Amino acid sequence: MNNDLIQTFAVYALPILFAITLHEAAHAYAAKHFGDTTAYSMGRMSLNPLKHIDPIGTILIPIVLYFAGSPFLFGYAKPVPIDFGKLRQPKRDMAWVALAGPAANLLMALIWLLFGLTLGATHVQEAFFMRMAQAGVLTNLVIFAFNLVPIPPLDGGRILTSLLPHRYAYKFAQLEPYGFFIVLALAYLRVLNFWMGPVISVASSALQLLVSPLTFLLN
């Protein structure tokens, strides 16, 4: 393992761990808020990364994509168990539970962005921490965009299912057993880039706009 790879791993390890763990924890907290205690009772409403790490999705897939030269690195944790039937208003609340994960990633991207601005303002010379801040922003924006792909079982697919009329929602939800393979095919064919790029760009611009007053003051 060469030095560049070791440095890249060190820079991205913590941001990826936080991004995936807090994404799943956010789903669990939202589910409990809306009436489903399944994840809570199974100990998955936790900030402990070990509760959420999936050997394939959290470790293997990002490594394979990195060595394959993919323009986007993404992965996933063990899905939080949610019984949508236990939500107070299942069809409506499904969207909020699904949205909680990407919202957590957007919030973390903002926190990493603020961390980077703070490093710059305090003239911290250690490049490693600045690279980690940049990795934190990028990682969370990628996971944010990926999970919003409107194909079940991804969060975007669940949100779309919630918004569709009942008849169409039922038919659309039947894609779920094949959704993972559909997404992999779209990623392999690079069709997914046409979604990822614009969503990341819009989210990044929104975050930059949000912190622009602070950026102005620090400059």
List phi, psi (to 5°) of 81: -70, 120
Local confidence pLDDT in tens for the 219 residues of the chain: 567 777 887 888 889 888 988 999 999 999 999 999 999 898 888 888 888 888 777 777 777 776 766 666 666 778 889 998 999 999 999 999 999 999 999 999 999 999 999 998 888 878 899 999 999 999 999 999 999 999 998 999 999 999 999 999 999 999 999 998 898 889 888 898 899 999 999 999 999 999 999 888 887
Give the CA distances from residue 10 to residues 4, 14, 81, in Å, rounded to whole numbers and listed in that order. Answer: 10, 8, 31
C-alpha span between 141 and 37 (Å, rounded): 29
C-alpha span between 91 and 144 (Å, rounded): 22
Identify the active-site residue in 22, 24, 72, 133: 24
Residue with tokens 């400059």: 219
Q: How many domains does the chain have?
A: 1
Annotated active-site residue 176? The verdict is: no
Give the per-residue pLDDT at 74.
64
Give the per-residue pLDDT at 82.
92
Give the per-residue pLDDT at 75.
66
Judge whether 87 and 93 are in contact, CB under 8 Å: yes
Query: Tell me, what amino acid is at 168?
Result: Y
Dig out the tokens for 151 from the structure. Answer: 């194909």
pTM: 0.89
Give the per-residue pLDDT at 207.
97
Give the per-residue pLDDT at 70.
64
Dig out the tokens for 143 from the structure. Answer: 């996971």
Give the per-residue pLDDT at 83.
93
Closest CA to 212 of 77, 117, 74: 117
Give the per-residue pLDDT at 97.
97
Q: Which domain holds residue 132?
A: 3-218
Residue with tokens 């913590």: 14
